[in-house]
Amino acid sequence: MRLQSPGLLLLLLSGLRAGVRGEDVRALVGSDVLLRCLCPEERRFDLNELFVYWQISVAGKEEIVTFYLSGNSSAGHHNNQYKDRAQLSLDSMRRGDFSLRLHNITPQDEQKFKCLVFLNLKKILHVEVALHVAANYSMPVVSTPGDTPQGQDLTFTCTSTDGYPRPNVYWINRTDNSLLDPALQNSTVTLNARGLYDVVSVLRIRRAPNVDVGCCIENVLLLQNLTVSSQTGKVPDPGLRPA
């Protein structure tokens, strides 16, 4: 039996259940990533007996990312967002590797992908891969106050751009490396045209001699802390960055 439309496969899915295996994957914006979907048994497959189907959930509805229907010479696409970005390998599928390669990762790709494989209309594999997307923030830039009149607070501004996911922002007293009261800062985080986050944080503190504060931008997903001192503008504590 040959199915000529992936829509017919959707009808099959509603009544079939099987054990689900899951995995979490991390990828940087602009990179390529492999979402694994492997048959646990070593065997060869006849492509004429296979139906391979990758899907995502959009607004509560299942949408096709890419698919392979038996009898076709290549994989197809239903979602224009993944046209020319989602790739299946016919040679790999013959060996039981139904993994999906995604090119040029964007923040919009952060979601759960489902791989379903049918052999002669019987579901033999169901894998769910949660893709977590990240992007490095730019090195923070701290603007220091100019000639501030006596009796007025000092104002420092910290900016960092093009990161993902949403950052945590901290101001640090560099004399003892203690965290300053969050009530002293006002941070604004916005999404830019690329779907990445820009942050501007303003700190107001009382005037004191030899003030040295640091601005820290934390990317939790990348275990990354970028810290710049107001006095030197250098990076005393770069934290962890991905290779």
- Give the model's pLDDT for residue 124: 92
- Give the model's pLDDT for residue 95: 95
Q: What is the mean pLDDT of each run of 10 residues along the chain (243 residues)?
A: 49 51 92 95 90 89 89 61 91 95 96 94 93 97 77 89 97 92 96 97 87 94 93 43 35
The tokens describing 191, both together, are 């999404």
- Give the model's pLDDT for residue 73: 55
Residue in this structure with the two tokens 């003030």, named with its chain if needed = 211
The tokens describing 212, both together, are 């040295």
| Number of alpha carbons in the 13 Å side-chain half-sphere of residue 167 | 35
- Give the model's pLDDT for residue 30: 96
- Give the model's pLDDT for residue 234: 39
How do strand 168-173 and strand 178-179 relate by DSSP bridges?
Answer: antiparallel
Secondary structure element (H or E) that encloses residue 61, with its range: strand 61-69
The tokens describing 119, both together, are 């052999």
- Rounded to whole angstroms, the Cα distance separating 207 from 221 reads 36
> Could you tell me what percentage of the chain is helix, strand and coil, using 3-state DSSP and rounding each to the nearest 5?
10, 45, 45
Nearest to 87 by CA among 104, 71, 70: 104
- Give the model's pLDDT for residue 231: 76
- Give the model's pLDDT for residue 148: 64
